[in-house]
Amino acid sequence: MISALQDFSLIAAIKLALLIAVGGGLIVLFKPLLLGCVRAAVLVVKPKMTREQRLQRRQLATRS
């Protein structure tokens, strides 16, 4: 562990900072695409109810 800390140099720190900056930039650039993929995945797991299903659920809730 100590040898790993000793090998950490300024060039390695610059590379790490550059990698983090590029990764963050890509996330910001593709944020709408990533959000769309997340929403699509949620709809695959939990599809929306149809209008008739929502109406029936509302009617059952008001009866009790």
pLDDT, tens digit, 9 for 90 and up, residues 39-57: 999 999 999 999 999 999 9
For 29, list phi and psi in degrees, rounded to 5.
-65, -40
Q: State what percent of residues in the chain have pLDDT above 70.
A: 86
pLDDT given at position 18: 96
pLDDT given at position 5: 58
Q: Does the pLDDT value for residue 2 go beyond 90?
A: no
For 12, list phi and psi in degrees, rounded to 5.
-65, -35
